[in-house]
Structure 1
Protein backbone atom coordinates (compact mmCIF):
# COMPACT_ATOMS: atom_id res chain seq x y z
CA UNK A 1 0.00 0.00 0.00
CA UNK A 2 1.35 3.45 -0.84
CA UNK A 3 2.07 5.52 2.20
CA UNK A 4 2.18 9.30 2.26
CA UNK A 5 5.19 11.06 3.60
CA UNK A 6 5.56 14.74 4.35
CA UNK A 7 5.81 17.21 1.55
CA UNK A 8 9.27 17.78 0.20
CA UNK A 9 10.66 20.48 -2.09
CA UNK A 10 12.11 19.63 -5.46
CA UNK A 11 15.46 17.89 -5.10
CA UNK A 12 14.78 16.67 -1.57
CA UNK A 13 12.15 14.09 -2.36
CA UNK A 14 14.72 11.62 -3.62
CA UNK A 15 16.61 11.83 -0.35
CA UNK A 16 19.49 13.65 -1.97
CA UNK A 17 20.13 15.71 1.14
CA UNK A 18 21.20 12.49 2.87
CA UNK A 19 24.28 12.35 0.66
CA UNK A 20 27.23 14.37 1.94
CA UNK A 21 28.50 14.91 -1.59
CA UNK A 22 25.28 16.63 -2.62
CA UNK A 23 25.35 18.85 0.47
CA UNK A 24 28.95 19.88 -0.06
CA UNK A 25 28.45 20.52 -3.76
CA UNK A 26 25.59 22.89 -2.97
CA UNK A 27 27.61 24.58 -0.23
CA UNK A 28 30.61 24.98 -2.51
CA UNK A 29 28.41 26.42 -5.28
CA UNK A 30 26.94 29.05 -2.95
CA UNK A 31 30.36 30.05 -1.61
CA UNK A 32 31.68 30.24 -5.18
CA UNK A 33 28.74 32.51 -6.09
CA UNK A 34 29.68 34.86 -3.24
CA UNK A 35 33.29 34.92 -4.41
CA UNK A 36 32.30 35.41 -8.06
CA UNK A 37 30.01 38.35 -7.29
CA UNK A 38 32.61 40.06 -5.13
CA UNK A 39 35.47 39.29 -7.52
CA UNK A 40 33.58 40.56 -10.56
CA UNK A 41 32.77 43.78 -8.73
CA UNK A 42 36.39 44.34 -7.71
CA UNK A 43 37.74 43.62 -11.19
CA UNK A 44 35.24 45.92 -12.92
CA UNK A 45 36.07 48.60 -10.35
CA UNK A 46 39.76 48.33 -11.25
CA UNK A 47 39.08 48.29 -14.98
CA UNK A 48 36.82 51.35 -14.86
CA UNK A 49 39.45 53.44 -13.00
CA UNK A 50 36.87 55.57 -11.13
CA UNK A 51 37.61 59.26 -11.14
CA UNK A 52 39.23 59.40 -14.55
CA UNK A 53 35.94 60.46 -16.16
CA UNK A 54 32.25 60.77 -15.41
CA UNK A 55 31.60 57.51 -17.23
CA UNK A 56 34.17 55.66 -15.10
CA UNK A 57 31.79 55.77 -12.13
CA UNK A 58 28.99 54.08 -14.07
CA UNK A 59 30.50 50.55 -14.26
CA UNK A 60 31.60 50.82 -10.63
CA UNK A 61 28.17 51.79 -9.31
CA UNK A 62 26.29 49.25 -11.41
CA UNK A 63 28.61 46.38 -10.51
CA UNK A 64 28.29 47.23 -6.82
CA UNK A 65 24.50 47.36 -7.19
CA UNK A 66 23.80 44.18 -9.13
CA UNK A 67 26.90 41.97 -8.99
CA UNK A 68 27.48 42.50 -5.28
CA UNK A 69 24.54 43.91 -3.31
CA UNK A 70 21.69 42.17 -5.13
CA UNK A 71 23.55 38.86 -5.19
CA UNK A 72 24.34 39.03 -1.47
CA UNK A 73 20.81 40.18 -0.66
CA UNK A 74 19.42 36.99 -2.19
CA UNK A 75 22.09 34.49 -1.21
CA UNK A 76 21.89 35.37 2.48
CA UNK A 77 18.68 33.29 2.59
CA UNK A 78 20.57 30.25 1.38
CA UNK A 79 20.94 27.45 3.93
CA UNK A 80 24.30 26.41 2.52
CA UNK A 81 27.43 28.50 2.45
CA UNK A 82 25.96 31.73 3.75
CA UNK A 83 28.67 33.83 5.43
CA UNK A 84 26.14 35.47 7.72
CA UNK A 85 25.47 33.70 11.00
CA UNK A 86 22.04 35.14 11.65
CA UNK A 87 19.65 32.44 12.77
CA UNK A 88 16.63 34.70 12.92
CA UNK A 89 14.76 35.14 9.65
CA UNK A 90 13.77 38.60 10.84
CA UNK A 91 17.44 39.64 10.89
CA UNK A 92 17.96 38.17 7.42
CA UNK A 93 14.95 40.07 6.09
CA UNK A 94 16.31 43.32 7.50
CA UNK A 95 19.72 42.68 5.99
CA UNK A 96 18.02 41.77 2.70
CA UNK A 97 16.26 45.11 2.69
CA UNK A 98 19.48 46.92 3.52
CA UNK A 99 21.16 45.26 0.52
CA UNK A 100 18.25 46.09 -1.77
CA UNK A 101 18.27 49.71 -0.62
CA UNK A 102 21.95 49.84 -1.53
CA UNK A 103 21.05 48.37 -4.94
CA UNK A 104 18.64 51.22 -5.63
CA UNK A 105 21.05 53.89 -4.38
CA UNK A 106 24.05 52.56 -6.31
CA UNK A 107 22.01 51.94 -9.49
CA UNK A 108 20.46 55.42 -9.40
CA UNK A 109 23.91 56.93 -8.87
CA UNK A 110 25.32 54.94 -11.77
CA UNK A 111 22.47 56.07 -13.98
CA UNK A 112 23.11 59.67 -12.98
CA UNK A 113 26.78 59.44 -13.94
CA UNK A 114 25.87 57.88 -17.28
CA UNK A 115 23.36 60.64 -18.06
CA UNK A 116 25.90 63.31 -17.07
CA UNK A 117 28.59 61.69 -19.21
CA UNK A 118 26.29 61.52 -22.23
CA UNK A 119 25.24 65.15 -21.79
CA UNK A 120 28.82 66.41 -21.50
CA UNK A 121 29.86 64.40 -24.55
CA UNK A 122 26.67 65.41 -26.38
CA UNK A 123 25.92 61.79 -27.23
CA UNK A 124 22.38 60.44 -27.75
CA UNK A 125 20.67 58.42 -25.04
CA UNK A 126 19.11 54.94 -25.33
CA UNK A 127 20.73 53.93 -28.61
CA UNK A 128 22.07 50.50 -27.59
CA UNK A 129 20.57 47.25 -26.37
CA UNK A 130 22.55 47.62 -23.15
CA UNK A 131 20.98 50.99 -22.39
CA UNK A 132 17.45 49.71 -22.96
CA UNK A 133 18.13 46.62 -20.86
CA UNK A 134 19.58 48.83 -18.14
CA UNK A 135 16.51 51.05 -17.99
CA UNK A 136 14.27 47.96 -17.94
CA UNK A 137 16.31 46.42 -15.13
CA UNK A 138 16.23 49.58 -13.02
CA UNK A 139 12.47 49.95 -13.53
CA UNK A 140 11.88 46.31 -12.59
CA UNK A 141 14.08 46.75 -9.50
CA UNK A 142 12.00 49.71 -8.31
CA UNK A 143 8.74 47.78 -8.82
CA UNK A 144 10.16 44.76 -7.02
CA UNK A 145 11.22 46.95 -4.10
CA UNK A 146 7.70 48.39 -3.92
CA UNK A 147 6.33 44.85 -3.72
CA UNK A 148 8.71 44.14 -0.87
CA UNK A 149 7.55 47.25 0.99
CA UNK A 150 4.02 45.87 0.86
CA UNK A 151 5.27 42.66 2.46
CA UNK A 152 6.93 44.52 5.31
CA UNK A 153 3.96 46.84 5.77
CA UNK A 154 0.95 44.66 4.84
CA UNK A 155 -1.49 47.30 6.07
CA UNK A 156 -0.64 49.35 2.99
CA UNK A 157 -2.59 46.85 0.88
CA UNK A 158 -4.77 45.59 3.72
CA UNK A 159 -3.19 42.15 3.54
CA UNK A 160 -4.54 40.88 6.83
CA UNK A 161 -5.11 37.30 5.72
CA UNK A 162 -2.23 34.82 5.65
CA UNK A 163 -3.11 33.28 2.22
CA UNK A 164 -2.84 36.67 0.53
CA UNK A 165 0.51 37.37 2.18
CA UNK A 166 1.80 33.94 1.17
CA UNK A 167 0.77 34.58 -2.43
CA UNK A 168 2.47 37.97 -2.37
CA UNK A 169 5.64 36.35 -1.00
CA UNK A 170 5.55 33.85 -3.85
CA UNK A 171 5.09 36.61 -6.42
CA UNK A 172 7.86 38.63 -4.77
CA UNK A 173 10.29 35.70 -4.95
CA UNK A 174 9.34 34.85 -8.53
CA UNK A 175 9.59 38.43 -9.74
CA UNK A 176 12.84 38.79 -7.83
CA UNK A 177 14.29 35.91 -9.80
CA UNK A 178 13.16 37.51 -13.05
CA UNK A 179 14.72 40.84 -12.03
CA UNK A 180 18.00 39.11 -11.16
CA UNK A 181 18.07 37.26 -14.48
CA UNK A 182 17.31 40.53 -16.30
CA UNK A 183 20.16 42.19 -14.40
CA UNK A 184 22.46 39.33 -15.40
CA UNK A 185 21.54 39.79 -19.07
CA UNK A 186 22.23 43.52 -18.71
CA UNK A 187 25.65 42.88 -17.17
CA UNK A 188 26.48 40.41 -19.95
CA UNK A 189 25.36 42.91 -22.60
CA UNK A 190 27.73 45.49 -21.08
CA UNK A 191 30.61 43.22 -22.04
CA UNK A 192 29.73 43.79 -25.69
CA UNK A 193 30.08 47.56 -25.29
CA UNK A 194 32.89 49.45 -27.00
CA UNK A 195 34.41 50.40 -23.63
CA UNK A 196 34.60 46.87 -22.28
CA UNK A 197 35.84 45.29 -25.50
CA UNK A 198 38.55 47.93 -25.73
CA UNK A 199 39.57 47.22 -22.13
CA UNK A 200 39.39 43.41 -22.06
CA UNK A 201 40.36 41.29 -25.04
CA UNK A 202 41.11 37.70 -26.01
CA UNK A 203 40.50 34.76 -23.71
CA UNK A 204 39.94 37.04 -20.71
CA UNK A 205 36.87 38.52 -22.42
CA UNK A 206 35.28 35.08 -22.76
CA UNK A 207 36.00 34.42 -19.10
CA UNK A 208 34.27 37.64 -18.08
CA UNK A 209 31.33 36.74 -20.30
CA UNK A 210 30.74 33.52 -18.35
CA UNK A 211 31.34 34.86 -14.83
CA UNK A 212 27.92 36.53 -14.24
CA UNK A 213 26.12 33.35 -15.32
CA UNK A 214 27.33 31.27 -12.38
CA UNK A 215 25.75 33.33 -9.56
CA UNK A 216 22.56 33.49 -11.67
CA UNK A 217 22.38 29.69 -11.78
CA UNK A 218 22.91 29.45 -8.02
CA UNK A 219 20.24 32.09 -7.32
CA UNK A 220 17.80 30.40 -9.69
CA UNK A 221 18.37 27.04 -8.00
CA UNK A 222 17.91 28.57 -4.55
CA UNK A 223 14.62 30.32 -5.36
CA UNK A 224 13.08 27.47 -7.34
CA UNK A 225 13.94 24.94 -4.61
CA UNK A 226 12.43 27.20 -1.96
CA UNK A 227 9.27 28.28 -3.76
CA UNK A 228 8.35 25.64 -6.34
CA UNK A 229 5.10 23.84 -5.44
CA UNK A 230 5.77 21.00 -3.08
CA UNK A 231 4.54 17.57 -4.06
CA UNK A 232 3.64 14.50 -2.09
CA UNK A 233 6.10 11.64 -2.38
CA UNK A 234 4.68 8.13 -2.31
CA UNK A 235 6.32 4.77 -2.02
Structure 2
Protein backbone atom coordinates (compact mmCIF):
# COMPACT_ATOMS: atom_id res chain seq x y z
CA UNK A 1 0.00 0.00 0.00
CA UNK A 2 1.33 3.42 -0.89
CA UNK A 3 2.18 5.72 2.03
CA UNK A 4 0.19 8.66 0.60
CA UNK A 5 -3.02 6.65 0.38
CA UNK A 6 -5.16 7.14 3.49
CA UNK A 7 -6.41 3.94 5.10
CA UNK A 8 -10.12 3.66 5.80
CA UNK A 9 -11.74 0.85 7.81
CA UNK A 10 -15.10 1.31 6.09
CA UNK A 11 -14.44 -1.17 3.32
CA UNK A 12 -13.17 -3.74 5.80
CA UNK A 13 -16.30 -3.35 7.88
CA UNK A 14 -18.51 -3.87 4.87
CA UNK A 15 -16.46 -6.94 3.96
CA UNK A 16 -16.95 -8.39 7.43
CA UNK A 17 -20.69 -7.78 7.22
CA UNK A 18 -20.85 -9.46 3.82
CA UNK A 19 -18.80 -12.36 5.15
CA UNK A 20 -21.12 -12.84 8.11
CA UNK A 21 -24.15 -12.68 5.84
CA UNK A 22 -22.57 -15.26 3.53
CA UNK A 23 -21.81 -17.61 6.43
CA UNK A 24 -25.34 -17.22 7.80
CA UNK A 25 -26.87 -17.94 4.39
CA UNK A 26 -24.68 -21.02 3.96
CA UNK A 27 -25.69 -22.36 7.38
CA UNK A 28 -29.35 -21.72 6.59
CA UNK A 29 -28.98 -23.55 3.27
CA UNK A 30 -27.35 -26.55 4.95
CA UNK A 31 -30.08 -26.72 7.60
CA UNK A 32 -32.71 -26.49 4.86
CA UNK A 33 -30.99 -29.37 3.03
CA UNK A 34 -31.08 -31.47 6.23
CA UNK A 35 -34.77 -30.81 6.74
CA UNK A 36 -35.63 -31.25 3.06
CA UNK A 37 -33.82 -34.57 2.74
CA UNK A 38 -35.60 -35.99 5.77
CA UNK A 39 -38.94 -34.49 4.74
CA UNK A 40 -38.75 -35.90 1.22
CA UNK A 41 -37.89 -39.35 2.54
CA UNK A 42 -40.87 -39.30 4.88
CA UNK A 43 -43.15 -37.97 2.13
CA UNK A 44 -42.20 -40.70 -0.35
CA UNK A 45 -42.50 -43.35 2.36
CA UNK A 46 -46.05 -42.23 3.13
CA UNK A 47 -47.06 -41.97 -0.53
CA UNK A 48 -45.69 -45.40 -1.46
CA UNK A 49 -47.48 -47.19 1.42
CA UNK A 50 -44.74 -49.78 2.04
CA UNK A 51 -45.98 -53.34 2.38
CA UNK A 52 -48.90 -53.04 -0.01
CA UNK A 53 -46.80 -54.55 -2.81
CA UNK A 54 -43.23 -55.48 -3.70
CA UNK A 55 -42.87 -52.28 -5.70
CA UNK A 56 -43.98 -50.16 -2.75
CA UNK A 57 -40.64 -50.82 -1.05
CA UNK A 58 -38.61 -49.57 -4.01
CA UNK A 59 -39.29 -45.81 -3.55
CA UNK A 60 -38.80 -46.14 0.20
CA UNK A 61 -35.41 -47.84 -0.10
CA UNK A 62 -34.16 -45.45 -2.75
CA UNK A 63 -35.32 -42.40 -0.78
CA UNK A 64 -33.51 -43.66 2.30
CA UNK A 65 -30.40 -44.41 0.24
CA UNK A 66 -29.99 -41.12 -1.59
CA UNK A 67 -32.18 -38.44 -0.03
CA UNK A 68 -31.41 -39.42 3.54
CA UNK A 69 -28.18 -41.43 3.90
CA UNK A 70 -26.12 -39.97 1.08
CA UNK A 71 -27.25 -36.41 1.78
CA UNK A 72 -26.55 -36.67 5.50
CA UNK A 73 -23.25 -38.43 4.88
CA UNK A 74 -22.05 -35.55 2.71
CA UNK A 75 -23.49 -32.73 4.81
CA UNK A 76 -21.45 -33.93 7.80
CA UNK A 77 -18.52 -31.94 6.43
CA UNK A 78 -20.51 -28.83 5.54
CA UNK A 79 -20.25 -25.58 7.44
CA UNK A 80 -23.38 -25.25 9.56
CA UNK A 81 -24.03 -28.98 9.66
CA UNK A 82 -26.31 -30.25 12.44
CA UNK A 83 -23.72 -32.91 13.32
CA UNK A 84 -22.53 -32.52 16.91
CA UNK A 85 -19.16 -34.20 16.28
CA UNK A 86 -16.22 -31.83 16.02
CA UNK A 87 -13.60 -34.49 15.38
CA UNK A 88 -12.96 -35.11 11.69
CA UNK A 89 -12.16 -38.75 12.46
CA UNK A 90 -15.63 -39.24 13.95
CA UNK A 91 -17.22 -37.44 11.04
CA UNK A 92 -15.42 -39.77 8.64
CA UNK A 93 -16.72 -42.73 10.66
CA UNK A 94 -20.28 -41.42 10.52
CA UNK A 95 -19.84 -40.71 6.82
CA UNK A 96 -18.95 -44.34 6.23
CA UNK A 97 -21.92 -45.55 8.27
CA UNK A 98 -24.33 -43.39 6.27
CA UNK A 99 -22.81 -44.43 2.96
CA UNK A 100 -22.79 -48.13 3.84
CA UNK A 101 -26.44 -48.05 4.92
CA UNK A 102 -27.27 -46.06 1.79
CA UNK A 103 -25.58 -48.58 -0.51
CA UNK A 104 -27.35 -51.52 1.17
CA UNK A 105 -30.66 -49.68 0.94
CA UNK A 106 -30.10 -48.90 -2.77
CA UNK A 107 -29.28 -52.52 -3.60
CA UNK A 108 -32.33 -53.64 -1.61
CA UNK A 109 -34.52 -51.19 -3.52
CA UNK A 110 -33.18 -52.57 -6.79
CA UNK A 111 -33.99 -56.08 -5.61
CA UNK A 112 -37.59 -55.14 -4.85
CA UNK A 113 -37.95 -53.55 -8.29
CA UNK A 114 -36.55 -56.61 -10.08
CA UNK A 115 -38.76 -58.94 -8.05
CA UNK A 116 -41.83 -56.80 -8.71
CA UNK A 117 -41.25 -56.74 -12.48
CA UNK A 118 -40.52 -60.45 -12.58
CA UNK A 119 -43.75 -61.21 -10.71
CA UNK A 120 -45.73 -58.97 -13.08
CA UNK A 121 -43.80 -60.31 -16.09
CA UNK A 122 -42.86 -56.81 -17.20
CA UNK A 123 -39.68 -56.02 -19.21
CA UNK A 124 -36.70 -54.39 -17.54
CA UNK A 125 -34.83 -51.21 -18.55
CA UNK A 126 -37.55 -49.82 -20.79
CA UNK A 127 -37.65 -46.29 -19.31
CA UNK A 128 -35.16 -43.49 -18.84
CA UNK A 129 -35.66 -43.75 -15.10
CA UNK A 130 -34.62 -47.40 -14.99
CA UNK A 131 -31.56 -46.82 -17.20
CA UNK A 132 -30.47 -43.82 -15.14
CA UNK A 133 -31.06 -45.81 -11.98
CA UNK A 134 -28.75 -48.60 -13.10
CA UNK A 135 -26.07 -46.07 -14.09
CA UNK A 136 -26.39 -44.41 -10.69
CA UNK A 137 -25.99 -47.72 -8.87
CA UNK A 138 -22.92 -48.65 -10.94
CA UNK A 139 -21.23 -45.32 -10.18
CA UNK A 140 -22.26 -45.64 -6.53
CA UNK A 141 -20.53 -49.04 -6.39
CA UNK A 142 -17.38 -47.52 -7.95
CA UNK A 143 -17.53 -44.71 -5.41
CA UNK A 144 -17.78 -47.24 -2.58
CA UNK A 145 -14.80 -49.18 -3.95
CA UNK A 146 -12.79 -45.97 -4.16
CA UNK A 147 -13.78 -45.15 -0.60
CA UNK A 148 -12.72 -48.58 0.64
CA UNK A 149 -9.25 -47.94 -0.72
CA UNK A 150 -9.15 -44.74 1.34
CA UNK A 151 -10.43 -46.52 4.44
CA UNK A 152 -7.95 -49.38 4.04
CA UNK A 153 -4.74 -47.95 2.54
CA UNK A 154 -3.17 -51.43 2.40
CA UNK A 155 -5.49 -52.23 -0.52
CA UNK A 156 -3.69 -49.67 -2.68
CA UNK A 157 -0.84 -50.97 -4.80
CA UNK A 158 -0.09 -48.14 -7.20
CA UNK A 159 1.50 -45.07 -5.62
CA UNK A 160 0.15 -42.67 -8.27
CA UNK A 161 -3.39 -43.92 -7.72
CA UNK A 162 -2.92 -43.55 -3.98
CA UNK A 163 -1.83 -39.92 -4.35
CA UNK A 164 -4.91 -38.97 -6.36
CA UNK A 165 -7.38 -41.21 -4.55
CA UNK A 166 -8.97 -38.45 -2.51
CA UNK A 167 -9.63 -36.38 -5.63
CA UNK A 168 -11.14 -39.41 -7.40
CA UNK A 169 -13.32 -40.16 -4.39
CA UNK A 170 -14.60 -36.59 -4.27
CA UNK A 171 -15.21 -36.43 -8.01
CA UNK A 172 -17.09 -39.73 -7.99
CA UNK A 173 -19.19 -38.41 -5.11
CA UNK A 174 -20.17 -35.37 -7.15
CA UNK A 175 -21.08 -37.55 -10.14
CA UNK A 176 -23.08 -39.96 -7.97
CA UNK A 177 -25.12 -37.20 -6.38
CA UNK A 178 -25.77 -35.55 -9.74
CA UNK A 179 -26.91 -38.84 -11.28
CA UNK A 180 -29.04 -39.63 -8.23
CA UNK A 181 -30.76 -36.25 -8.51
CA UNK A 182 -31.45 -36.71 -12.24
CA UNK A 183 -32.77 -40.22 -11.56
CA UNK A 184 -35.06 -38.99 -8.80
CA UNK A 185 -36.38 -36.18 -10.98
CA UNK A 186 -37.08 -38.67 -13.78
CA UNK A 187 -39.02 -40.79 -11.25
CA UNK A 188 -41.38 -37.86 -10.71
CA UNK A 189 -42.46 -38.25 -14.34
CA UNK A 190 -43.17 -41.98 -14.01
CA UNK A 191 -46.71 -43.31 -14.36
CA UNK A 192 -46.77 -44.36 -10.69
CA UNK A 193 -45.81 -40.95 -9.40
CA UNK A 194 -48.04 -39.07 -11.83
CA UNK A 195 -50.97 -41.13 -10.53
CA UNK A 196 -49.94 -40.55 -6.91
CA UNK A 197 -49.38 -36.79 -6.94
CA UNK A 198 -50.53 -34.09 -9.35
CA UNK A 199 -51.03 -30.36 -9.63
CA UNK A 200 -49.30 -27.79 -7.46
CA UNK A 201 -48.08 -30.41 -4.98
CA UNK A 202 -46.14 -32.14 -7.75
CA UNK A 203 -44.44 -28.90 -8.81
CA UNK A 204 -43.56 -28.07 -5.21
CA UNK A 205 -42.02 -31.50 -4.74
CA UNK A 206 -40.03 -31.11 -7.96
CA UNK A 207 -38.58 -27.76 -6.83
CA UNK A 208 -37.89 -28.97 -3.29
CA UNK A 209 -36.05 -32.00 -4.70
CA UNK A 210 -33.43 -29.68 -6.22
CA UNK A 211 -32.55 -27.94 -2.93
CA UNK A 212 -30.43 -30.68 -1.30
CA UNK A 213 -28.72 -31.30 -4.64
CA UNK A 214 -27.72 -27.65 -5.03
CA UNK A 215 -26.42 -27.42 -1.46
CA UNK A 216 -24.49 -30.70 -1.52
CA UNK A 217 -22.94 -30.25 -4.96
CA UNK A 218 -21.98 -26.66 -4.16
CA UNK A 219 -20.33 -27.87 -0.95
CA UNK A 220 -18.36 -30.57 -2.78
CA UNK A 221 -17.17 -28.20 -5.50
CA UNK A 222 -16.18 -25.37 -3.15
CA UNK A 223 -14.72 -27.39 -0.30
CA UNK A 224 -13.08 -30.45 -1.80
CA UNK A 225 -12.28 -29.98 -5.49
CA UNK A 226 -9.13 -28.03 -6.37
CA UNK A 227 -9.42 -24.49 -7.71
CA UNK A 228 -7.00 -22.58 -9.85
CA UNK A 229 -5.81 -19.34 -8.34
CA UNK A 230 -6.60 -16.31 -10.47
CA UNK A 231 -3.62 -13.99 -10.73
CA UNK A 232 -3.71 -10.45 -12.01
TM-score when normalising by structure 2? 0.89
Q: How does 1:108-187 map onto structure 2 within 5 Å?
A: 108-158=107-157, 165-187=162-184
Shift of 1:200: 0.2
Tell me the secondary structure at the aligned position of residue 186 of structure 1: helix
Bigger proportion of residues as helix:
2
Does the aligned pair in 2 maintain the 1:191–1:197 contact within 8 Å? Answer: yes
Larger Rg: 2
Structure 1 partner of 2:76: 76
Q: Do the aligned residues in 2 keep the contact of 1:16 with 1:22 (CA within 8 Å)?
A: no
Task: Report the counterpart of residue 30 of structure 2 in structure 1.
Answer: 30
Q: CA deviation at 1:113?
A: 0.7
Give the secondary-structure state (helix, strand or coil) at the position aligned to 1:211.
Answer: helix
Q: Distance in 2 between matches of 1:32 and 1:130?
A: 27
In structure 2, what is the Cα distance between the partners aligned to 1:222 and 1:21? 17
Distance of 1:120 and 1:72 partners within structure 2: 34
TM-score normalised to structure 1 length: 0.88
* Residues in 2 aligned to 1:148 and 1:16: alpha-carbon distance in whole angstroms: 38
C-alpha deviation, 1:168, in angstroms: 1.0
Query: What's the CA shift for 1:126?
Result: 0.8
Task: Name the structure 2 match of 1:5.
Answer: none
Which runs of 5 or more residues in structure 1 are unaligned?
3-14
Query: For the aligned residues, what is the CA RMSD?
Result: 2.2
The one of 212, 226, 233 aligned to 2:209: 212
The equivalent residue for 2:194 is 197
